[in-house]
Structure 1
Amino acid sequence: MRDSISTGAAGILAPAAEASSDAEDLARLGYRQELRRDLGSLSAFAAGFSYVSILTTVFQLFVIGYAFGGTRFFWTWPVVFLGQLAVALNLAEVGSHYPVAGSVYQWGRRVSAGAPGWLSGWLKLVGDVVSVAAAAIALQAILPSVWGGFQLLGGDPSLTSRDGAANAVLLGAGLVVLTTAINMAGVRAMAWVNDVGVMAELGGVVLLVGALFLHAVRGPEVVLSPVYGPPSSLGTGAAGLLAAALMPAYVLYGFDSAGSLAEETQNPRRIIPRAILKAVVASGVGGALLILAALMAAPSLTDGRLATDGLAYVVVSALGPTLGKVFLVDVALAVCVCTLAIQTGASRLAFSMARDGALPCAPALSRVSSRTKTPVAPAIAVGALACGMLVVNYGEAQLFVLITETAVLLVNLSYLLVTAGMLVRRLRGWPGRAGGAAAAGVFSLGRAGLALNVAAVAWGVALIANIAWPRRDGESAWMEYFPVIGVASTIAVGLAMYAAMQKRGREQVALPERRTSAAQIDVAT
């Protein structure tokens, strides 16, 4: 880690004394202030909310829930929300104790020694890179419905068709290039775009939910009376509902990304926990209302279109082509901001790991631009890798879906590594005065901490088991087990990489200036 304190100018949005205090606090955690502290509470909230982006993900994944659970899939949303809220509460607490760029990596390595701590960051990084591509590809589900001219290749916009898959790669790659450029421009530009986008998304959710309620053709009791579309191979019992729960599980993650911007946020010990929790609560409430409104306003619950065309069909059918397309434009904006937020979080995570020597090409990835005070190389690397992932969709759209499922597993597994490490430390008396840091302003779960920590770990195990559970639905055996194979392969590659860095670190142990490395990842006590 770097130990000296930067004496550069303070962020323009905070008094000099507060900026100095934040820099001193960061120094106590082992780093000097290199990034620009320009972000306030709105931008921190926007980072977490944009990653979840209910307009992006609910529109993209509504078909999964309805295909497996029918109208009853609504009830999987509050269950998953409460489970993820328990996780978020624990991440908010550890994030307040360790307000350092890199979120899950920094939290994991400080509550778990050695490989488990490093692995939490590695799994999250791989999951984030794939999630950038998955978010960008959602443009194909929106833009051709707004205007046929966005279908630049061929005539069939369906994501499962060859034309649609190819066009999705083109639109997605263009979006990733744009978000990479915004990230390279600096945190001010990123925050401005993100803030505007989040306000537009929040306003769009409120207006869309209100408009769908006004055009409802049935009452809210629709979620109490089981109605199904085309029959699922999993049936209509518990197996179908467990499969339907994959939809909210795919939506409600990524709220930790506010923590990745901790070194660019004013008073992060106070703001970051609130941003994480606000992002989860806003997404949970907004998503539940959106799903309920869609089920009430859908022209038909049994014609099969809810399980194939999803929310875009409901919006255009219920509100008409003109107003419906206005809302779809807002959804497209949400997709763009979502992609930007995920890429930003991933680039800060890569920067944080590289700064500790915990990634290959660490010197380049840990370099901060003297002009923008932003790590440029990680943004370019994440963007390039995401574009590479997009190409997979061109050849096999179903394979891209399976890779996305694997990414969701990786991110939630990284959360589990952190909450499990916290539980072990908590049983030994954590948090106390962690790391000798000033206790003032630190968010604490108090006496409820142990119970909420146990709940978060139990929920994480159950969620991961449900996502990874093989479900044969007309797929080949290798596709059925692909997410499990993907996670196992990512862990194996990560452990091999960690072992290699351990060996290199031992060889360089004589260098006195190398206070902390991947081979010497410490655990704050």
Structure 2
Amino acid sequence: MSASPSRQSADEHLLHSQGYSQELHRGLSLWSSFSVGFATVSPVVGIYSVMSLGAMSVGPSWVWVVPLCLALQLLVALVYAELASQYPLAGGCYQWVKRLAGDRWAWFTGFMYLASALASLTTVAYLGGFWLWLFFTGEAPSANAQVFSGAVLLLLGLGVNLFGINPLKYFVSAGIIAEVIASVVIGVLLLVFFRNHSFSLLLEGLTSAPGTDSSYLSGFLTAMAVGGWAFLGFDACSQVSEETADARTSTPRAILRSMILVGLTVMLTAFAVTLSYTDTAAMVSGQVIDPVTPAVVDAFGAWSERPFVGVVLVAFIACVVSVQTYIGRAIFGMARDSILPASAFLRRVDKRKVPFVAMVFSTLFASFGLTLGLNATAVGTLIAFGSGGFFVVFLIVVTCALLARLSGKWKAETGTFSLGRWGVPINLAAFCWLVFESINVAWPRESLAPPGAPWFQVWAVILVFSILAVLGLIYMIYAKPYLRTLNPQPSLQ
């Protein structure tokens, strides 16, 4: 459903007031913007990322970490919603930090964001490659086969994105249907008809280590680090703001709705699988890496395995497509300010109003990253950094927002979505949460690395972030890309 001429005019006027012209096709509704965010965060991808590690950390009681992480990460989403309401621009966090803290911090934030996002795209494609190969062969893939399958998913996602915004809408909508089937429908059925344990199991505090207070605290912190991984990607809605009708209203709503609904869906699946899976001890000990599929097969019969794998595969495909979409817009949003190498090419938009060069670049870069999947140590390092890097970017954005709010530089009330008098307390609480979680996610833990992993994989977040930060700062100091910007910090005020 297209926007009315008056809304289109208001959207374009807003974009012009920020120093940009309407180059992308504004064809996304609130539902479509929400779908991009929902598919990117992805309950299916999230639950497969966190469930086994969470259970190994603190046993079945890990499920209570999910609502806690959801509530705390929602604080960040509220700050992001305010910023997206006032500055609905492709480039998202780069554009916000540019206006709140200046060009230097903006460039550094955008650089770290792109590094984390590209690592995330590689990770999702790599993990999705497992399900693609499993669906067509019925067997777990070798390292080479999984890398090949991941590359196929990246090419499929690129093809969808290059056809324009309309095919994208249908793909992410299909992804949401798959998510609903794999998470909501199956979760409800497991809880109602196939529950094998009482709810008291979730309160036992069963641990995989000796039951001392210190071991449980350590396990709980690990579960918090893992739980935070399930709520990354909600900011994808902000990256497609310039393609969303009535963006100042639709984008913040899409951010919050995708975060809340994904969180509730992950909670439902976590509770349902934990209570229906028969061999709890095997799940807690780490003998079962994927408790979700066995729980479904045990409940519904062997016939259900292939359809369930197909549904999970569709969810992963939608996630790959959505991640490619927002990375392409992030690159475009920075390149049109001429602050990236080869910006003149990266900002190009084709006749379908797609930033096709940015899309191709991100796909090629992620495909190169897939070769790390040939080595379990290397891909583990990539996955760890991809998660930790986002929390550091969140922290930079929320810190800049808090300082600008306290100094009076940023008047959040001028946006269509505002926290009002709750702005400072929520912003401060989000800052405290991100300081804690950034340290918690980056903390070197052997329990989150494969047995016998080398030290640099255990220290992956700190090591990779430090190397990239140093390289980025060196480039920023010597090349001074922030001085090449074509659009110096406009404001809505």
Q: CA deviation at 1:433?
A: 7.2
2:247 corresponds to which of 244, 252, 268: 268
Query: 1:427 offset after TM fit, Å?
Result: 0.6
Q: Is the 8 A contact 1:55 1:201 kept in 2?
A: yes
CA distance in 2 between partners of 1:145 and 1:387 (Å): 20
Residue 94 (str. 1) matches residue 79 (str. 2): no
Superposition RMSD in Å: 2.3
Amino acid at match of 1:346: I
Contact 1:84-1:456 at 8 Å conserved across structures: yes
What does residue 304 of structure 2 align with? 323
Residue 384 of structure 1 is matched in structure 2 by 364
For 1:337, the equivalent position in structure 2 comes to 318
Query: Structure 1 residue 233: deviation in Å?
Result: 13
Q: Pick one of 55, 60, 75 that aligns with 1:71.
A: 60
The equivalent position to 2:174 in structure 1, one of 171, 196, 203, is 196
The change in CA–CA distance for 1:31 and 1:306 in structure 2 (over 3 A counts) is farther
CA distance in 1, matches of 2:213, 2:443: 13
Specify the code of the residue in structure 2 equivalent to 1:495: L
Deviates more, 1:23-32 or 1:59-68: 59-68
Q: Kindly provide the amino acid, as one letter, of the partner of residue 377 in structure 1.
A: V
Give the counterpart of 2:477 among 495, 499, 502: 499
Partner of 1:292: 271
Change (3 A) 1:409 1:505: closer
* Counterpart code for 2:152: G
Q: How does 1:235-254 map to 2 (within 5 A)?
A: 236-254=215-233
Equivalent position SS for 1:63: helix
Instruction: Measure, in 2, the Cα distance between the counterparts of 1:60 and 1:480.
Output: 17
Larger fraction in helix: 2
Residues 409 and 21 of structure 1, relative CA distance in 2, 3 Å threshold: same
Structure 1 residues 192 and 146, CA, compared in 2 at 3 Å: closer, same or farther? Answer: closer
Q: Higher mean Cα deviation, 258-267 or 210-219?
A: 210-219
| Partners of 1:150 and 1:258 in 2: CA distance | 35
- Matched residue of 1:21: which SS? helix
Matched with 1:31 is: 20
How far residue 136 of structure 1 moved from its aligned partner, in angstroms, is 1.2
Instruction: Note closer, same or farther for the CA distance 1:93–1:180 as it changes in structure 2 (3 Å cut).
Output: same
- Give the aligned partner of residue 115 of structure 1: 104
Q: Following TM superposition, by how much is the alpha carbon of 1:349 offset from its aligned partner in structure 2, in angstroms?
A: 0.2
Residue matched to 1:460:
434
- The answer to whether the 8 A contact 2:77-2:259 is kept is yes
Q: 1:330 to 1:235 in 2, by over 3 A?
A: farther
Q: Which moved more, 1:243-252 or 1:267-276?
A: 243-252
| Aligned equivalents of 2:49, 2:70: Cα separation in 1 | 18
* More moved, 129-138 vs 93-102: 129-138
Kindly indicate whether the alpha-carbon contact (under 8 Å) linking 2:164 and 2:354 is maintained by their aligned counterparts in 1.
Answer: yes
Q: 2:146 maps to what in 1?
A: 168
Question: Contact 1:111–1:523 at 8 Å: present in 2 too?
Answer: no
CA distance in 1, matches of 2:314, 2:119: 20
The CA deviation string for residues 161-184 of structure 1, in whole angstroms up to 9 with x for no partner, is xx6222210110000011011111
> Secondary structure of the equivalent of 1:237?
helix
Partner SS for 1:470: coil
- The counterpart of 2:417, out of the listed 443, 452, 469, is 443
2:329 to 348, 358, 383: 348
* Structure 1 contact 228–301 (Cα < 8 Å) conserved: no
Partner in structure 2 of residue 366 of structure 1: 347
Indicate whether 1:56 and 2:36 are aligned.
no
Q: Which residue of 2 aligns with 1:205?
A: 183
| 1:429 matched residue in structure 2 | 408
SS at match of 1:142: helix
The Cα shift of 1:281 comes to 0.3
CA displacement 1:351-403 (0-9 Å, x = unmatched): 0000111111100001111x201100011011011111111011x12321221
Q: 1:150 to 1:127 in 2, by over 3 A?
A: farther
Count of residues in Structure 1 that have an aligned counterpart in Structure 2: 486
Q: From 302, 306, 309, give the equivalent of 2:290.
A: 309
Paired residues of 2:59 and 2:208 also in contact (CA < 8 A): yes
Question: Cα gap change, 1:496/1:112 in structure 2, threshold over 3 Å: closer, same or farther?
Answer: same
Structure-2 residue corresponding to 1:472: 446
2:373 maps to 1:393: yes
Change (3 A) 1:195 1:325: same
Aligned partner of 1:283 in structure 2 is 262
Asked if the contact 1:230/1:307 (under 8 Å) is kept, the reply is no
1:487 matched residue in structure 2? 465
- Indicate if the aligned counterparts of 1:111 and 1:524 stay in contact, CA closer than 8 A: no
Residues 387-431 of structure 1 deviation map (CA, whole Å, 9 limit, x = unaligned): 11111011x123212211111111111111111001011112254
1:130 to 2:111 alignment: no
TM-score (normalised: structure 2) = 0.93
- Percent identity between matched residues is 27
How do 1:398-409 residues align onto structure 2 when only pairs under 5 Å count?
398-409=377-388
Give the distance between the partners of 1:81 and 1:97, measured in 2 at CA: 24
Deviations 1:470-510 (CA, angstroms, capped at 9, x unpaired): 123443322222220101111112222323442x676x7xx
> 2:196 & 2:138 partners in 1: Cα distance?
32
Looking at structure 1, the residues matched to 27 and 138 of structure 2 have their Cα atoms a distance apart, in angstroms, of 36
Secondary structure of the 1:13 match is coil
Deviations 1:199-230 (A, max 9, x none): 33124322111121121101222210123458
User: Tell me, what secondary structure is at the counterpart of 1:99?
Assistant: coil
Cα distance in 1, alignment partners of residues 114 and 214 from structure 2? 36
d(CA) in 1 for partners of 2:311, 2:341: 39
Alignment partners' CA distance in 2, 1:278 and 1:200? 18
Aligned in 2, Cα 1:298/1:442: closer, same or farther, shift over 3 Å?
Answer: same
Shift of the alpha carbon at 1:523?
7.2
What secondary structure is seen at the aligned counterpart in 1 of 2:23?
A: coil
Aligned CA distance change for structure 1 residues 235 and 31 (closer, same or farther; 3 Å): same
- SS of 2:64's equivalent? helix
Contact 1:67 1:229 in 2 (8 A): yes
Change in 2 beyond 3 A, CA 1:210/1:335: same
Q: How far apart are the structure 1 equivalents of 2:211 and 2:163? A: 47
Secondary structure of 1:444's match?
Answer: coil
Equivalent residues of 1:393, 1:399 under 8 A apart: yes
Name the CA shift for 1:125/1:234 in 2 (closer, same or farther; >3 Å).
farther
